[in-house]
Each structure stands twice: as structure tokens, then as C-alpha cells.
Structure 1
Amino acid sequence: MQQSTHSPQSKSLSASAIDSAASLSNLQKTYAAIPRERPHTPLLDKVDAPIDLKTFSESQLITLADELRLFLLYSAGQSGGHFGANLGVIELTIALHYLLDAPQDQIVWDVGHQAYAHKVLTGRRDKLGTIRSKDGLTAFPERAESVYDTFGVGHSSTSISAALGMSLALRYQDIAQTVACIIGDGAMTGGMAFEAMNDAVQQDADLLVILNDNDMSISCSIGGFSRHLATLWESGYQVDISDAGEPILCKRPVMQAFDRRKRHKELRDVPQLEDNLFKAIGFTYFGPFDGHDIPELLRVLSLAKQLKGPVLVHIYTTKGKGFAPAELDPVGYHAISKLPAENEAVEDSPKESKPLLKYSQVFGQFLCDKAAIDHKLLAITPAMEEGSGMIEFARQFPKRFFDVAIAEQHAVTLAGGMATQGVKPIVAIYSTFLQRGYDQLIHDVALQNLDVMFAIDRAGLVGEDGATHAGVFDFAFLRCVPNMLIAAPKDENECYHLLNTCYEYQGCTAVRYPRGVGTGAVITQPAQVYPIGKAVVESVLGQDDAANKLALLAFGTMVEAAQQAAESLINDNIESDCQVHVVNMRWVKPLDTHLLETLIEQGITHIATLEEHMIMGGAGSAVNEYLLNESPTFKNSHPVICNIGISDRFIAHGSPAEQMADCGLDVVGVVSQLQQLLK
């Protein structure tokens, strides 16, 4: 590697060009407020496809970045959605679409939190206000939405694998196209990213990886990899790229746009950049560069994309760049809600009643309460401290809190290892992300019947985040695993006590609860231990001598909808000759088979199961399997059965109410399906 003490621009730009680029970079603006009116964006309005960028000058591209940033601020205020990550990649997105020939060249975004600017520049500018709304743009890149969305994303750490697959397939077909993927430092902590890098080197694939390093995932990046990136920053040097594409070690210019947070107190000796992790694996490494300097990005990426083999360009960006409040609070501005209407009425005095608790807050309260009296409790999260409600626990019990970064597989096996040493680990994880640790759940926890509890948040439909984040498969993939217990609370109070029940149980357990707030149920103290596998009859409505007797078996938060549907059937005289038993099943595994037998013996003529989950393989399927294969009374009486849940399809994004109605899981939909059953 050559070495130089000169500014990196001096190798490919003249002195006047350097001054020009510096002055252009300083034109970028910072905003302090989200505009309520559609801003004036004359340059952006000319961009209907990436090809429209090709005629822009560098100064126009920088002005375009300001306009695009202001437009994204306005759009986010109208629709809500992911925020900070999008503001941080505006310059990078412009540079990529200026230099590459999409859609022929392939651009792959990791996770997709940061793809709004990409959507705007690829013909979806005027639709951005519909993002995350029913029938509007998706929250993440989706192949069915645009030819420029080369790969559907939503989960972390997939981009290098997908891009490598594209590169190898193109090479096999003798098609010469650039394949570039953008991955954040948070996503790079996922093991899949390292598996892909290892294979890319083995395959000698032509692949351009852009590491967008903003020292953040959703919250601050942590761990050894983050520490390694910090040492590269602290070195004060960079590996620049010469006009011939050769790496040159030189002093890094001052990057005023980026202020890396000094959270690593004991950095080891700063290594030479030529010995960094990426080069050790076998990538050609360049960086770090200022990810908000458009002239510099154009210079570096135009050279890097011409190189053969796996290449990684390391850039630094600021999450929330260009919006002052987000730069100061990148965690709080990861995503925002839409602005309230200006004429929205403001009440003279706050309401007396307390706000409803989120289920994540219920979990956080349980953690702190239980840890205070049980020193064996340890808690693990794969980079979801805030979302899972663990901030207060982490503050009170820092030695018992383990954030393992975006590494779900590791989180599960880590818990298994802990459980062998006499402690009780709790894995706090979103349902959609537990899917990524499924083999570990089976092989490393359940097979050994280790004492691990899973607190599964965001179960069921999740509204605007759409199909990628819906937790509608967990009943199915958990209940088929031996040694697993699965609890589904109906409200906040029951969630608290089922968490305690599963914690006290010696073995593999899971408590599954939804996103958002509960019903307002008051949490009672002290914590109870419920009987394992015992359901609760919530109510019996209608006359004992009714011709039709319906058992409505509801799982989890669908108990409330079941109760309302039963009341509608009886009180509104929709079914005048019917009696309804509303049952809170509480447990998916084990089922309360004794209650099922009792209901049938009491003359139940119809059975309906109700769950916010896929019908195939779900809780209703568990009821069917028992009745058909094991129940002695069912064979003699044969009540009519129907399963109410989500049909065999992915549910598109929309508001929670719209999604429930779409699936027939709102009260109106449930009543309609029960009427069909009773006919």
C-alpha cells in the first residue's frame, strides 16, 4: 500500500477543484423544523427516474440534496415513518443513482429503513405521502412495487448475501452489471453479513459493499465490531483510492459532518488501517470517507465501481443529518409519527385518567419487579432495548442486562449457555425476529430442555410496518417444538402474571403479546402463578335451552373481540336461538383439554377458535388436532368447528384497524363468520 501525507483529493482533483468541492459541500443546509407546506423543490421536481440525474452538475446535485432532505422532512410530517436513517443517506443515494445505471445495475439496501430517498428518485416522489398507508407505498423496498427495488427487505443483515447472489448469477450468464449493496454498521453486526463476506472472497465476486457507518443501529451500536470501527476513526488516517484504483494510506481530512460518540473507553492501540478486519477477510478496503460530501462520494465511488473482486467502501454519516433535533437525538428520531393537524383542538386541562400501558412497558415493569427479588434473573435483547421496554431494567441492573446487537441466533444460544449455569435468562425479542433464531431455539434450548423464557413482543399484525414485521407465525413454529410452553395473555394484567408464571416454570417457555397498548386492565400485585394449561370461561351469554350452543375459544388479545362479538350475537338478536360460551384459552400449549371435554359434554354444538395468527398451523389447528385425534367425547357428538384467523396470505401494510378488518378479525368480521358457522 502506498502512503501519502497529502489531502486525498490532491491525487485526482486540482487545487481549484478542491476549493470548489469544499465550498459546494458547505452549501448543504440544516433545518430546525418540519415544514407543514409542500416545499419548493424545482430540481427535485425534474427527477422522475435516476436517468434524469445524469445531466446535473455537482453544484446542482448538492442543491438537490438540500431539496430532497427538505422534501423528506415534509413527507415524514405528513405520513410519519422512518426518519433519521433516511436523512443520513441522502447524499449517498444521489451519488449512487448518478453514477450507476439502475435498474440494470443492481442497488440493494439493507433493512430498508433508509430507502425513502431511493423511492423518491425512482419515480415515487408524488406517492411518498402514502407510505405505510393502506394501498400506499410500502415502508421498505419491495420488488413488486418498483423495478428499482431489486430485493425485498425489512430485516437486518441480508444485503451482502442478496447482492452476492445477484453478482454470481450475472457472472454465470455473462452479463456485465454493477452490483452494489449498502449496509449499516448496526446491520453489519449480524452474523449473516460476515458469512456473506467470507463467501464473496471465496467466490472472488465482483461486488461493491458500502458500509454506512453512523455509529447507530436503532440505538447506539455496540460490541467488538463497533469498537473496531471506532479504532479506524481514531487513527486519523484513511485508505484513499487513486485514479488507478490503488489503495493509498493518507491523513484523513477533517469531517465536520460527523462526530463519533466516544463510548469506547478503553480502545486498544490504534491499528494501521491496512490491517483492518475487511482487508483481513480479503476485501479491498477504502475509507473512511465523509458520506455527506457529494463531490468526494462521486470521486471515490466512480473509481471503486470499476474494480474487480469484492470491494468495501467505508463512509461515515450522521443519522438525522440536516435536521438539528434528529442529529441531537438519533434514537428518538429513528421514526416519527405524522404531525398533528394545526387546527386540532387542544384541551384546557389534561385528562384525569392514566394513559394506557404498552405491553412492552408491562414487560419492563415485570423485569424490574422480578429482578429486585430474584438475583438469578438475566435479560438478553438483540438490539431492541428501547422497543422491548428494557431501558429502566438496564439502568437498575446493568450487570444483568445483555444487548448482543443484531444477532438473534447468538441471543438464543447465549441464553441456552447461561441456563446451564444456574441462572434464569429471559430473551426479549420481537416475534418476527425470533424467526431468525429458530434452529437455535430448537437445537440449543428446547432439545436440551433448558430453563429459558422467551418474552415475544410485536406478536400478531403490526400495522404500518407491514408483512415483513408481522408476528403471525409464532404459534405454529413454536407449538410443534417439544418441551415448549406457550402463553397468550388477553390483557396487561394477565400478561404480567403469565410472565411471572413462565419465569417460575423450570423449562422452555414463551409469553406472546402484541405491539402497542392494552385494554387498560390494572396490574394487580403480588405477581401470581397461574395453573399451567388452564383456560378461563369469561362469560356465558344466552339461554340454557337454546338450540345452538357455541364455544368461542379465543387466544390472547382476541378475547376482547370474542366477548364483543358474542354480545353482538345475543344482545342485538342476530342469533336469537343461541348460547355463547366465551373462553379465554390463555395457553396455546398445553391446551386445556379438560375444559374442551367439559364443554362438549355440556352440549356444545358449534366450536369457533379465534386468533390473530395464521390459521394454518395456529392455535385453532391445535384444537382441531386434539379433537380429531384424542378427544373421546368429540367422536360421539361431532360439534361443527371453524377456525377464525389469518388466511394463507401475507397481509399488506395499513393501520391496525384496517389490517384487522382486512382479515375479518374485527368484531364485524368475527360476527359475520360466526353467523356462517351457525347456519
Structure 2
Amino acid sequence: MNIYDIKSPDDIKHCSIPELEDLCVQIREFLIDSVSKTGGHLSSNLGIVELSVAMHYVFSTPQDKFLFDVGHQSYVHKILTGRVSQFPTLRQYKGLAGFQKRNESEHDAWEAGHSSTSLSGALGMAIARDLRHEDFEVVPVIGDGALSGGMAMEALNQIGALNSKMVIIFNDNNMSISKNVGAMDEAFTRLRTSRPYNNLKEDLKGALSGTKTGSAVLKSMRSVKNAVKANVVDTSIFGEFNLDYIGPVDGHDLRTLIKVLHNAKNHDGPIVVHVMTKKGKGYSFAEEDKEGNWHGVSQFDPQSGQTLAKMPAGHLSWSEVISKTLIDLAQQDERIVGITPAMIGGSKLRDFFNEFPERAFDCGIAEEHAMTFAAGLATSGIRPFISVYSSFLQRAYDQINHDVARMDLPVVIGIDRCGLVGEDGETHHGVFDITMLRSIPNMILSQPKDAIEAQNLMYTAFMQSHPFTIRYPRGNTPYQKLKHYTPLEIGSWTSWQMDTYEVIIITYGPDVDRIISKAKVNQLPVRVVNARFFKPIDTMMLEEICAQKKPVIIYESDMLAGGLSSAILEYVNDHHLATEFIRLGIRDHYVTHGSLPQLRKLEHLDINSLCELILDLIKEKHHAN
């Protein structure tokens, strides 16, 4: 069987075990080669090859429903459902998505980009099936990292109570993006290393190898399952939720996986199949990775494992700028602590964790808890900094509103990966946080245009006694460490202008310097305003701008509804200030995946489109005169 000959999962159902094992080798080789060219999620997909093959061998999509938690590990599923020829377009504009996508294939029953959603979605599908008297299997696949999410726990609670038939595959690789943390991970570690566990693992293997499929296997499996439940599981989460359990199963042993899944399929009610896999399986660089560096990768050399993306000299990622400033401030103020929900590597907080191990807290995949934990620290004189990707911050809206802002607590929130993020697409674009937070009282919202302003905003944030957000994008910026910090006036904007100007542009973040650079090169008669605070806004400068009666472009790379332009128009309307505004930003739709230049052009937010608009406004003005 050649992977390029697979048009649907039916094509593998008549293969022998040796043929399936050969297919797994091909898939791993293909994944390494393909992802090295496009970038994407590598380790998680290498770890789930045999499991995905076994699932499609036993179950039948699209009738049966597969829900991959988060969805970034669905590459093998895409190969087995006839999409291998599209992999050169992976994560590119109008190409194959990096996650399950319902409009991409009938085999994609669910789509997500955030963790811990699969069990709730699966229960909904199972109950809908039962209400409609239909007959199909519901198979969510959830990892040990995602299982620590509160939403997964809520779903398990109801799954155990409703007893609707489903096969829950617990993909246990002892890793999420980076190493898991917390009491639940410790419980799973005890389960993996316990004597009953290892004895029962051999019993399970013997039961499967010595019995044919059918009632005899089910009887043998039930005896093993009952022994597990009596000796191991009642001390873990599954027994507490009254869920039946089969496992542990070697996630890279195809023969065993297929037999276990066949029998789980015949089980009445919900059952957990505990599968042990190795993240990055088959590629030494990914297998040995403990920091999450091979979780999501850019283009790389498959032979050396070296990335092909090079950092420009004198640049750091925005995350590193924030992290280095946090370390410097924490050296001066022992009250400062750092918090992350499972993103030590992504948020570049590793150095902070190494230098201040007693003041650094990884809460696991639990944004809600992390935010209220920060609020609790702030009530007791500690100065918490919490770094959260903008896309994941959405999960903590209630905690920011109810627990942080309502009590007006001095929590500094670093909103990483704000704005359009590119290839990960609509589940990961960080374009909603300004809209989400601007209506909440007591909040201060900001974004720096460069590394100097970022450092000064961090310094300013820790001088305040109110909730303070600093958003920063994916990507790099020129960096030089400040010797002395300068506090910034809350709500203040700055501006730059040509000697004479006819159009005013209000924008924020790195776009400020991009537009200034373009204006200098093309001698555009513009004034560029750096609106570094979204809340409060600089009303004095805004009133001065309105008094000039010049065309004003508000240029924002986030959602227009509720964003910077909304704040400006509200103030202008309430204070009866008349001027002409043109709003550029993302309108009422989700933005697809693709490169940042492609997406900006698609949304008419590229600098060339802005320049054309400026020239058109100038021509119109001259023509009118």
C-alpha cells in the first residue's frame, strides 16, 4: 500500500498487519519530509501514526465520528482520508488546514484549535445520535495534557452520568506542548509506574494474543478491565467518574491496538481506552525534545534538524523582549512572579523559570485557573505577570472580568501572539482581545510599537495598581536593553509627521514604524499617530486631530467591532467632534490561514493598499479645491 494510492480509509481495511506496519513507516517518512518544507505540528503527529491507522482500520468515517482534541495531530487522519496530495499546501492560503476542518472533508466531524473540547463535543454528538435513533460510533481522542483542562473534567462528569455509548481514546504521551505539570500528571505517573499497572499490561497482552476476537476476547478483556478497576483505576480519575476502562495499551503496537479498539467498539456505554504513545516517535530530534521545540516547527533540514528560519542580527522575538524585561524587573522587585498556562517555551519564560523557580508557576492547560490564581496573589501584595496567547485568553474572559478587574487588582497580563498569526488560521488569530477587554471597567490596554516602548510599558505596568494588559505580536523586533526605564503616561499617544501633511493615520504596534518608513521612502505627506493605549485613549490629542479637519485613517490589524476605531468614534460622537474617518481593519468574519503578507492583502491591510488610499484621498482633496 502506497500512501499516494489512499483515496479513502476503506483502502486500508483489507491490508494485513505487516502491510499496515509498512504504511506507518511510509507515513512517518512522509510527515518528516513534508513538514520540513511547510512547517507545522510534527511531534504530535509522529506519535499518533499507529493509533490513527488502527482507528481507521476498525471504525468507518464519515459515518463514525472522530474528534481529535485540539486537532493539530490530525495530519495522519488527513493522509488516510485521501488528502496526501494536498500536503504541499499545508497551512498555506487556500491550502490544507493544519487542523481538522469540517468544510475540507466529510471525514472531519469536528474542528478546534484549543484544547479540552473533544469530550464535550463527543457527548453532544452521542446524545444527538441516541435522540435520533441513529447508529454510529463517536470516538474522541484526548491527550493527558488536554485532560487536565477544566472543560474536559466537566465533560467526564456528565459522560459518566449519562452513560451514552462512546469510545474515549486517552492518548497518553506524558507531554502536552511541553512537559505536563500538576497533581493530575503525578497521578498518571503513579498509574504508569505502578506494579498493578505493569502486571496488568502483561495480562492484557496475553489475553489478546491467546484469544480470538469475539465473545471470548470480550470476556478476557472484561476480567482484565475489572482487575485494573479494582487495583488501579479507582485511585485515578476514570474510576471516580464511573467510566469503564481498558488498558494500558502500547500505542505503537498495531496488532494490539486493533484488537483493543474492536472490543471497545462492541462495549455498551462509554469506555476509556488508555493508549501509551511516544511524542515524536521515529524522529530522534523530536523524540528527545522535552521543551516543546518540535511541537510546532517552521521549515527545517530533516537531516540535521536545524531550522531554516534565521533570526536577524540584533533582533529578538517579542516574547523574548517581554521575558527579558520581566527578569530584569523581578531582580529589582521580589514581589514579582511569573505565571503561564502550559506555555513556558512558547512565551519564552524558560529563563525566568530557571532564575526564579520559587516565583514561577506553570498552571498547565488551565487559563481560567491561571487568571484567578493571579488575582489571588494580587490580593496579598504579590505582583503577578501572566503570559497568555491572545487566542487562549478568550477562555479566561470571566476570570479577567469577575476576579481581576472587578476587584481592580494589579495583575499584569502579557497578551502574546496578538493580531493575525498566519498559518494556524482562524482558531489562533489574536484579533479579538481588544474588543473583548475594552468594555471591562478598570482595565488598561496597551501595545508597544517597538522593543523600547515594550520595556517601558512593562516598567509602567508594575508601577500601577490596576489591571494592565500589554499585547505583542508573533515575530521579531530590533532589541537593545534599556539602561534606564521611563514611565509612560497612561493613555498617552505619540506622533510623527512629515514637514507638511494632508492625511493623518492613527495606528498601533509595529505598523507605526512600518508606515513611517514607507512615508519617508515615498515622501507621503502624512502624520502617523502611535495609539499605544486603547484604553484609556489620548483624548487631548484626538481633539487636536479633529480640530484640523483633515482626513483621518484609523488603521488596525484586529477586529473593527469594539476596537480602537470604535473607541475613537464613541468619544468623537459623545463630544460632538466632527471630522472624516476611514476605518481599516477586520470586518465581521473569521480570517482563514495563510502567510501574513497574503492575509493582510486579503483584508486590505497591506502597506501598499494603505499608500494607494492615502494618494486617492490627497487627489480627491486637491480636486475638490
Common fold, TM-score beyond 0.5?
yes
Corresponding residue to 2:506 among 528, 540, 553: 553
Between the aligned partners of 1:89 and 1:395, the Cα distance in structure 2 is 32
2:377 aligned partner: 418
Is 1:484 matched with 2:443?
yes
Identify the match of residue 527 of structure 2 among 576, 581, 590: 581
Verify the 8 A CA contact 2:451 2:479 in the aligned structure 1: yes
**What is the match of residue 294 of structure 1?**
254
Q: Is the 8 A contact 1:550 1:604 kept in 2?
A: no
Tell me how far 1:96 sits from its aligned partner.
0.3
Whether the 8 Å contact between 1:613 and 1:645 is mirrored in structure 2 is: yes
Provide the residue aligned with 1:622 in structure 2.
567
Task: Quote the residue 2:10 is aligned against.
Answer: 51
- 2:588 is aligned with 1:648: yes
What is the rounded CA distance, in whole Å, between the counterparts of 2:612 and 2:122 in structure 1?
46
Contact residue 218 and residue 334 of structure 1 kept, 8 A:
yes
Using the TM superposition, give the Cα deviation of residue 368 of structure 1 relative to its aligned residue in structure 2, in angstroms: 0.7
Which residue of the partner structure matches residue 550 of structure 2?
Answer: 605
CA distance in 1, matches of 2:480, 2:551: 33
Q: For residue 614 of structure 1, what is the amino acid of its counterpart?
A: M
- The 5 A counterparts of 1:186-585 are 186-238=145-197, 240=204, 242-244=217-219, 246-248=222-224, 272-330=232-290, 331-339=292-300, 354-518=313-477, 520-542=478-500, 549-567=502-520, 570-571=523-524, 579-585=525-531
Q: Choose which of 588, 594, 597 in structure 2 pairs with 1:657.
A: 597
Q: In 1, are the aligned partners of 2:503 and 2:614 still within 8 Å (CA)?
A: no
- C-alpha change, 1:596 and 1:118, in structure 2 (3 Å) is same
SS, match of residue 285 in structure 2: helix
- Partner residue of 1:672? 612
2-side partners of 1:214 and 1:158: how far apart?
19
Query: What letter matches 1:666 in structure 2?
Result: D
Give 5+ residue unaligned stretches, structure 2: 208-216, 304-309, 621-625
Change in CA separation of 1:478 and 1:541 when aligned onto 2, cut-off 3 Å:
farther
The alpha-carbon distance between structure 1 residues 677 and 314, as it changes in their structure 2 partners (threshold 3 A), is farther
Give 1:649 shift.
1.7
* C-alpha distance in 2 between matches for 1:118 and 1:170: 23
TM-score by length of structure 1 reads 0.84
- Report sequence identity in percent: 37
User: SS where residue 357 of structure 1 aligns?
Assistant: strand
Asked if the contact 2:391/2:430 (under 8 Å) is kept, the reply is yes
Alignment correspondent of 2:138: 179
Q: Report how far residue 249 of structure 1 moved.
A: 5.7
- Greater helix share, structure number: 2
Assess if the C-alpha contact under 8 Å between 1:642 and 1:677 holds in 2.
Answer: no
Once the two structures are TM-superposed, the CA of residue 565 in structure 1 deviates from its matched residue by 4.9
User: How many Å separate the matches in 1 of 2:166 and 2:438?
Assistant: 41
Q: Distance in 2 between matches of 1:539 and 1:247?
A: 79
- Is the contact between residue 318 and residue 475 of structure 2 (CA under 8 Å) also seen in structure 1? yes
Q: Name the SS for the 1:463 alignment partner.
A: coil
Alignment of 1:40-119 (within 5 A): 42-119=1-78
Output the TM-score relative to the length of structure 2: 0.91
1:201 CA drift (Å): 1.4
Q: Once the 2 structures are TM-superposed, how far is the Cα of residue 367 of structure 1 from its aligned partner?
A: 1.2
* Cα separation, 2, equivalents of 1:207 and 1:67: 30
Matched residues in 2 for 1:218 and 1:247: separation? 35
Structure-2 separation of matches of 1:656 and 1:355: 22
**Could you tell me how far apart the structure 2 residues matched to 1:608 and 1:67 are?**
53
Q: Which runs of 5+ in 1 are unaligned?
A: 1-41, 253-269, 343-349, 544-548, 572-578
Alpha-carbon distance, 1:608 to partner: 1.3
Separation in 2, partners of 1:194, 1:273: 16
Partner of 1:132, secondary structure, is coil
Contact 2:225 2:244 in 1 (8 A): no
Q: Which residue of 2 aligns with 1:260?
A: none
Count of residue correspondences: 594
Deviations 1:4-37 (A, max 9, x none): xxxxxxxxxxxxxxxxxxxxxxxxxxxxxxxxxx
Range with bigger deviation, 480-489 or 275-284: 275-284
What secondary structure is seen at the aligned counterpart in 2 of 1:513?
strand
Q: CA deviation at 1:541?
A: 4.3
Kindly tell me: are residues 336 and 234 of structure 1, through their superposed partners in 2, closer, same or farther at Cα, counting changes over 3 Å? same
Q: CA deviation at 1:237?
A: 3.2
- Corresponding residue of 2:541: 595
3-state secondary structure, aligned to 2:224:
strand
